[in-house]
Each structure stands twice: as C-alpha cells, then as structure tokens.
Structure 1
C-alpha cells in the first residue's frame, strides 16, 4: 500500500495546477475554427439509435434552448475538450445540468437530494461538470425571463456553492466526507416565503408518493383478466415477442451483478410484463424498457427500468477508463457519486452485445419545476445543486487538491459565470441551427411528443 500524500502536498498540487490553467482563464469561450457542426454531432449520435424515435428527440430538443442544452451533452463535451484543463480529475456526472439533480429514496427510505443521471459519467477534469451546471443555470434563467444580471447571479451562486463546499469538505476526514448527504428536509430552510415553502413541501410529498405501487395504478390495466402495462404509443408500447424473450433471458445476467442479499430479494418477484418506454431528451432513441414484477401477489408490484448504455460522450476526449462495459461504467459511477444508490442497480449485455443497466423505475424520485422559479428560488436551487455536485466530486477526486486550486477568493466563480453566459449565447445559436435544419428538411422533428 502506498503512503498517501500529506494534506499540505495535496493542497500544493492544486495550487500548482493554476500554472496550467489560471482560474481566471476559465472565463474564455471562443469557438475553435474546426468546431463541429452541432447538428452533425447529434446525427452521428443517432446512427445506432432506434430511427423511428429520432424525430421525437429532435422535436424535444427544438422546443427551447434549455431543451437543446439538455440533449446536447456531446456538443458541449467537444467544446470543453478543445480548451486546456486543470488535470484535477474526478468521477464526472458528465451531464450535470439543473434537471439532472433531484430527489430519490435511499435504501433506508430517507428522501435525499443528489445527482440522478449518470449515462455520461466518466473520469475527467472537475471543472467540466461545474461549467455545464453553471451554463444550465444561465440558460434556464434566461428562458424563464430573468434578466442577465439575475442569470449571472444564479450561475455565480452555483459555482460559489461548489467552491465553498469543496473547501469545507477538504478539512474533513475520509469517512465524514463519504457519509455526507443532503437530506430533503434541508431544502425547506432555503425557501423564504410561505407560498414557496408550501410549494416545496408539496413537491416533497409528491416524491414520497412516487413508488412502484403508484406507478402500478398509472401504468397498468387489466386485459382479459391479466395485469398488463398500458399501450400509449409511441412513448409506451408493449414489448414484442422477441424483446420479451430477450428480457427474460438476460434477467439472470443482470441478477448476477447484484449482491447476494439483493439477489435473494429479487428472487421473490416474478415476471409479469414488459414494455418499451421513451425517456428524457438526450436519451430518446436509446433502447429502454420497463419490466413489471409481482411479489407476494399482484398488489405487490416492482417496476424496473432497463436502459441501453452507450459510451460516454466524454470518452473520445479523455484517456480510457477502467470499465469496458458501458453499463458497468454507469452503475459504478452512480454508486461512487451518489450518497446512497438504488438497491436494484445492476448491468448486463443484451442482444447483439448491447450494454444495458437496470434500476427501479420510480423510487420516490422527484425533480424541480425550474420553469416556475422566481429569481430568488432559482438562486437557492442553483446553490443547492452546486453543493451536491461538490459533495459528489469529493468522494472520487482529490478534494484537498481541488480546494487548493479553487482558493478562498471568488476568482474561479466569476470566471465560470462569465463562461456560462457566453456559452448560453452559443446554446441559443446552436438551437437556432437545429431549427434551421428541421425547417430545411435536413432532419425530421416531431414536436410536442
């Protein structure tokens, strides 16, 4: 076993990284002369997706600049990779925009706030996640109608919260950092007005009710005396015979990636039905299914989601990681970044060698209504997301080195905020480019689906 470097040496490593990339240098956003066309990047992603679903993806992304940003992680990854980076690596979320944070249940049934999407997770420079978060705050603020001063203030709050949280965690012990979490009840003190507090309390209540039993009522019906998942094309369609056979076959492979006690629990459920489901924005076109299982009886349901895992959009820009299987990468990244993870999280390979990962479809999950936020609400939420991101990064990266790089001044905060506003402008331009491609018939979009 190697002897870890001292805290002083680790902090010095972070400060030395300023010579590679000055903190103020993060403000720059100048598109490279060979910047790829954003529509071409999206089309390249779509080559191995289900072609009948791609118009839904493009239609959702064309709805607004923020929707475009949500689906364009690959575009931003290429832009971030074109600039120098600090070399201070963490397990990145890879797609740390505002709506990829939210509520979910821990195995102990506590309601936590954390990152909740890991399709693009990969090891890379910590600042890439911070810049994507700050940019999403700026884009969302403008879309809501907040002036640029308010957008900048909210973006700055997200970065400042990241920096101050990382510096606070750098002073704590290893187990203390590992066990740190954000309980849902910690959200309420962030809300100022009584009206907004009631709205947050209502959101927490909805999240607590989002369980397999609630999904059972909404997603299933009785057909010829048998419980089946409803037919709601094109977003929810019964699995075909070949898909159904494949899902039954690969279930045992998924089961083997769970720990022994969780395999025992899963074995108490029986397979009832499965359906193909369209999810998200950037994920549309990936193969995704939901499986209905029954436990003690048909009134004891468990919904699992099986989602195709592809190489992270970050992989082509960074050194190779330790995980050959994309599903294993997603699961390992989620377990590392989240304070507590789904007990049914696992992975396996399916037909044609495609990689998949499994998780519960609904486990008290909830997300913020960003569109309805006032400037103060958005600022508080941005600060919360920055705090959660720092907590996640501190588990996998050298938090002391990162804290040493960030320092006590707000130099990094202001620089990333300037970048976020500039990249928000770029997002509007790219969104317009997508709209033009749709208008010219280069790609087909199905709006409103």
Structure 2
C-alpha cells in the first residue's frame, strides 16, 4: 500500500492535480455534479424557459449555493449547536427564490441517487414549500419549526458528542500538534508560510482564535503548522490553507488546539439584487452574509488579506459535520425536504419585517396547480434544471473518461 507521502503534490503541480481531483469528484454521481456546478446552475437558470416566471422575492442575504451538503450542525463560539447553513461562499443579497430552486434541485438529484420514484420528487417539493412557509410564519428566535428527520437527529447526536480528538482524526488524522502531509494536505511555498505567520500576528485574527468560551483574550497563540488544504471542488486555483495553532498553556486539553481554515473569497456566481448595498470586498461579503444567515458560523469568521487576496478565516469545531443524504427512503426524503426548507426559511425570515414576510408568503402561495401543491415556477425550474444537469453530467463523465483513457 502506498504511503501518504506518495500523495503529496508540490506547489508547482497543484493546478493539474486539483483539476484531476475535481473532475473525479464531479463524475462520481449526478448529485456530486450538481454540488460542484454552482456557476452552471445560474447559467442554466438564466437560460431556462422557467427562469422568466420566477418571482422577485424581497432582497435578503441568500446562501447562493443552497444544496443539502451545505446544511448541517454548526456550533457557535460558546459551543451551542444548531442546524444552519455551513457554507456561505456564494452569499449575496439576492432573490430568496434562488435558494429554494437550488435546494429543490439538490433534493431531487439526491432522491434520484436513492432510486426513489419521480412522484417522491413532487412530494418533496410540496413539503419543501410547506416547511419554508411555516418558517415565515414562526416567531423569530424560536425553535426550528420542523420535526427533525432521522438523518438530522443522528447527525445532531454525533455532533453533540464530538471533541477535539474527533476533529483531529477527521481533518488531520493525528492528535499530535502537526499537520501530516499526504492526500489531503500539501506543502506551502515559503512565501505562503511567511504570509500565514504574519497574518496571525494581527489583533483581529488573534481575537478570532480567543473568541471561544474556553479561552482568554490574553492566551498565548503559537503557530504549530500550516499546509495547503485539498478540499471540495472549489479549491482549484484558490488559496485554501489549514493552520494548526496552540492556544494557552497546553497542546492537548479541550480548547488548547485550534484548527483554522483560510479560504480565498471570490466573486459570487449568484446574481445580486439591484440597488442594494453590499460589501465590495468578497471576504467581507462572505462574513456579513454568514452573520445574517448562519449566526453560529458568522460568530467565528473574520475577513482578511493574504498575499494580496481577499480571504476569510473560520475556526473549525468538532461539532461541524456534514449530514448523510446518500440513502433516503420516501418518508425520510419528504421529511428532510420539509426540515431543510424550514432552516432556509428561518434564515431568510430573520431578515424580513412582518409585512415583508407576509407579502412573500402570499407570493409563494400563488401559481399552484390542481395536481401539485407547490408553485408551478418551482416545479418547472427543477424539471428544466434536472434535464440540463443530467446531460451536462453525462458529457462531463464522457470527457473525463476519454482523458483518462489516453
């Protein structure tokens, strides 16, 4: 068996290696392709015949990339856990209908991946709208207005019981204060390492690290290790660095180690609402969006500059995990659709006053057919997008297979 060192890629070979990994990951399933094709989603949406029928919802911060993998348990700086949005790279002040369509497409492809019949997709969209509209009706600040499906309950139980050792095992495969180079972590250039060391001397970054409830503002912070992080489909050509820190007096006690994710912030693919103020700096946009949409996550994020590029930093916590939607029953699929839409509805609703929520809810209640208790524009958009994504996914697999056969 090859050692982990055999997977190490030097900095000058990153681009080709990342492109290969991205293509492989997106070829694994239609659902994986949907998750990795945010830009194409908005291109298809704009070109779709259903696109002109989408209502202009009230301008609020939206996720912009609202698929099922971007929702899950998220802890705040004090350790409290809630189901919220986990990834806000694409966040903008935009049309909340775009989050609904993106979530519906993701749920539909997840259902197809679980070999569920098409009628289940129709029922999922109906339940999705029910959950979202119920969240618009609920009092802000209250509990999430949905019974958690089993996949969420299991994820929450796992999140509550996790500690630093679990995070180290999952993320860095080691509980020692180093980041082992291999398949998931590659070496930094000298310039990158020096820039990271300089970044963690700044007060705003120090305050991010000491913000957790087990730490003190005056705690000593030592940079133990840093590496380029091979992560997801979005790493291609962008800064993505994992930084391991020692905080306080000891390396191993709970709160004594800190794993920071540094990620480059780039222009969002999601269209912005016209004539609405939004931070011009992409890192500031991401952090402000997180604070509005996912307070638990926004609590532990900061914008910064690294190598003259906009980046945002967040401390990873053991409780931040991804939910498993790979194998769904009919009942679980519809229940998950209701619950996840309620989470998104709550994130949108907290930004609206009562009159705006009422008006938006009324808009969502229109344009329904006798055979489907969900807006016709939502169903039409999902159908058009599934057709486009399925064809693009198969073409991606064909091109990828051809390149590997050469």
TM, length-normalised to structure 2: 0.82
* CA distance 1:221–1:117, shift in 2 (3 Å): closer
Q: What 5-or-longer segments of structure 1 have no aligned partner? A: 1-48, 192-196
SS at match of 2:220: coil
Q: 2:55 aligned to 86, 102, 106, which one?
A: 86
Determine the C-alpha separation between the residues in 2 that align with 1:65 and 1:158: 21
**How far is the alpha carbon of 1:209 from its aligned partner?**
4.0
1:428 is matched with which residue? 390
CA contact (8 A) 2:227 2:242 kept: yes
SS at match of 1:262: coil
- Tell me if 1:400 matches 2:358: yes
1:227 is matched with which residue? 177
Question: Does 1 or 2 have the higher relative contact order (CA < 8 Å, sep 6+)?
Answer: 1
Determine the C-alpha separation between the residues in 1 that align with 2:206 and 2:90: 20
Which digits, 9 at most, give the CA deviation of each residue in 1:54-83, with x for residues without a partner? 111111111111111001110111233343
SS at match of 1:248: helix
Which digits, 9 at most, give the CA deviation of each residue in 1:133-169, with x for residues without a partner? 1111111101110011112212321122112322x14
* CA distance 1:202–1:129, shift in 2 (3 Å): closer
Q: 1:368 aligned to 323, 345, 349, which one?
A: 323
* CA distance 1:331–1:427, shift in 2 (3 Å): same
Equivalence map 1:73-222=2 (5 Å): 73-82=38-47, 83-84=51-52, 85-88=54-57, 89-166=59-136, 168-169=137-138, 172=139, 177=140, 179-182=141-144, 189-191=147-149, 202-217=154-169, 219=172, 221=174
* CA distance 1:280–1:273, shift in 2 (3 Å): same
CA contact (8 A) 2:261 2:314 kept: yes
- Tell me if 1:60 matches 2:36: no
SS at match of 1:270: strand
2:193 is matched with which residue? 244
SS at match of 1:413: coil
CA contact (8 A) 2:44 2:388 kept: no
Determine the C-alpha separation between the residues in 2 that align with 1:67 and 1:154: 19
Q: Which has the higher helix share?
A: 1
SS at match of 1:281: coil
SS at match of 2:177: strand
Q: 2:258 aligned to 302, 315, 329, which one?
A: 302
**How far is the alpha carbon of 1:212 from its aligned partner?**
3.4
Q: Aligned pair count?
A: 372
**How far is the alpha carbon of 1:335 from its aligned partner?**
0.5
- Tell me if 1:334 matches 2:281: no
Q: 2:338 aligned to 383, 390, 393, which one?
A: 383
Determine the C-alpha separation between the residues in 1 that align with 2:239 and 2:218: 23
CA contact (8 A) 1:122 1:333 kept: yes
**How far is the alpha carbon of 1:422 from its aligned partner?**
3.3
CA contact (8 A) 1:180 1:339 kept: no
Q: What 5-or-longer segments of structure 2 have no aligned partner? A: 1-13
* CA distance 1:366–1:216, shift in 2 (3 Å): closer
1:288 is matched with which residue? 240
Determine the C-alpha separation between the residues in 2 that align with 1:71 and 1:309: 16
* CA distance 1:259–1:282, shift in 2 (3 Å): closer
**How far is the alpha carbon of 1:365 from its aligned partner?**
1.2
TM, length-normalised to structure 1: 0.75
User: How big is the alpha-carbon RMSD for the aligned residues of Structure 1 and Structure 2?
Assistant: 3.0
Determine the C-alpha separation between the residues in 2 that align with 1:407 and 1:72: 30
* CA distance 1:400–1:256, shift in 2 (3 Å): farther
CA contact (8 A) 2:114 2:327 kept: yes
* CA distance 1:283–1:379, shift in 2 (3 Å): farther
CA contact (8 A) 1:216 1:301 kept: no
CA contact (8 A) 2:207 2:217 kept: no
